[in-house]
């Protein structure tokens, strides 16, 4: 077993920041462009690291110290980010990322706040067996929902499908595993699963196993200029709502009262 890697100057191996540099809460995002939006929303914002697909902006939002971390795409990147953010001293994470609507005929709110996820990715299975549920922190989900409504949004909820191979789910025909993929798609259609992403289930599972609180705030059109600031404001407002002490995901757990 090797010791946890860090740089010679104690910076974290991939994130490139120092432990303690980010405060206790962080926003993770798959969209690096959001760091620019974050820099304008935060006071005293500064870029603290940029390494591979990981880059970090820190600052304060109404006195709350916050790190906004771009993490690249997919479950393995998500797990690395969650591990290193725990090492950095973070206790609560909101992931702001994108999803593909599974039922393209449905019209409705575009914001999606899943409270649980289907673990169709393998990274989380290297942490804990599939029998373990991928659950967001209910308090953080509730805080996100309220903050989204304050922004005039009507978020959609439920479970999301987190998969390693979205293109296969969109085009299962002629794939070597088409029968299995179509079967999973049929289950999702039966349950009314609203959308598919790459790493919500990894976030929920790995964060919980490491004793962190997490939730996801998803939107299908991250490239639209107004979307980034809106999502970031919702996430920041959720952090400020003041979460009840939770026994949900603390390991070892803490009692509620």
Partner 1 sequence: MLNPPRMRRFIHGEPTQIGEYVLLPGDPGRVMMLADHLESGRMVSQDRAFTAFTGYLGGVPVSIVSTGMGGPSIAIAMEELIALGAHTFIRVGTSGILQPQILSGDLVIVAGAVRDEGTARQYLPQAFPAAADLEVIASLRDGCEKLGLRHWTGIVHSKDSLYGEWEPDRMPIGQQLVNNYQAWQRAGVLCSEMEMASLLVVAAVYHKRAGGLIVALNDDYPLTELCQAAVEGLRQLIARDQRREDQDGDYRQG
115 forms part of the interface with partner 1 (CB under 8 A)? yes
Residue 128 backbone dihedrals phi, psi, to 5 degrees: -155, 145
209 forms part of the interface with partner 1 (CB under 8 A)? yes
Per-residue contact track with partner 1, 30 to 69, x per CB under 8 A?
A: ----------------------------------------
Residue 163 backbone dihedrals phi, psi, to 5 degrees: -130, 155
Which helix (H) or strand (E) segment holds residue 61: the answer is strand 54-61
- State both tokens at 77: 């990147």
The residue with tokens 């169709």 is: 120
N-term to C-term CA, the chain:
39
The span from the CA of 25 to the CA of 28, in Å, is: 10
Q: Decide whether 58 or 92 has the Cβ nearer to partner 1.
A: 92
List the one residue from 69, 100, 117, 236 that touches partner 1 (CB under 8 A). 117
Q: Decide whether 223 or 244 has the Cβ nearer to partner 1.
A: 244
The site for partner 1, by CB under 8 A, has a size of 49
Q: How far is the CB of 169 from partner 1 (least distance, A)?
A: 13
Residues of span 124-143 touching partner 1 by CB under 8 A? 127-135, 138, 141-142
Q: How far is the CB of 247 from partner 1 (least distance, A)?
A: 3
Rounded to a whole number of angstroms, the CA Rg of the chain reads 18
213 forms part of the interface with partner 1 (CB under 8 A)? no
Q: How far is the CB of 211 from partner 1 (least distance, A)?
A: 7
Q: How far is the CB of 115 from partner 1 (least distance, A)?
A: 6
SS3 at position 128: coil
- State both tokens at 91: 């206790």
* CB-based contact 205:129 (threshold 8 Å): no
Residue 224: Cβ-neighbour burial (10 angstroms; 0-12, 13-18, 19+)? exposed
Tell me which residues touch partner 1 (CB under 8 A). 113, 115-120, 127-135, 138, 141-142, 145, 149, 154-159, 184, 187, 190-194, 208-209, 211, 246-257
């Amino acid at each position: 077993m090797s010791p946890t890697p860090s740089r010679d100057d104690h910076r974290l191996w991939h994130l490139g920041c120092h432990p303690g540099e980010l405060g206790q809460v962080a926003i993770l995002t798959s969209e690096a462009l959001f760091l620019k939006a974050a820099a304008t929303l935060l006071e005293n914002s500064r870029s603290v690291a940029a390494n591979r697909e990981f880059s970090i902006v820190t600052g304060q939002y109404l006195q709350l110290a916050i790190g906004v971390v771009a993490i690249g795409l997919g479950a393995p990147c998500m797990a690395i980010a969650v591990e290193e953010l725990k090492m950095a001293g973070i206790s609560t994470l909101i992931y702001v990322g994108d999803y593909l609507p599974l039922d393209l005929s449905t019209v409705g709110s575009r914001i999606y706040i899943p409270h649980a996820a289907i673990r169709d990715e393998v990274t989380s299975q290297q942490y804990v067996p599939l029998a373990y549920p991928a659950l967001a922190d209910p308090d953080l989900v509730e805080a996100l929902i309220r903050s989204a409504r304050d922004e005039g949004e009507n978020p959609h909820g439920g479970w999301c499908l987190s998969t390693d191979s979205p293109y296969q789910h969109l085009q299962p025909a002629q794939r070597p595993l088409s029968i299995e993929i179509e079967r999973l798609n049929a289950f999702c259609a039966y349950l009314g699963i609203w959308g598919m992403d790459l790493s919500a289930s990894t976030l929920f599972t790995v964060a919980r196993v490491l004793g962190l609180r997490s939730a996801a705030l998803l939107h299908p059109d991250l490239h639209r200029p107004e979307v980034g600031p809106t999502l970031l404001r919702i996430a920041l407002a959720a952090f400020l709502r003041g979460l009840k002490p939770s026994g949900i995901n603390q390991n070892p757990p803490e009692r509620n009262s």
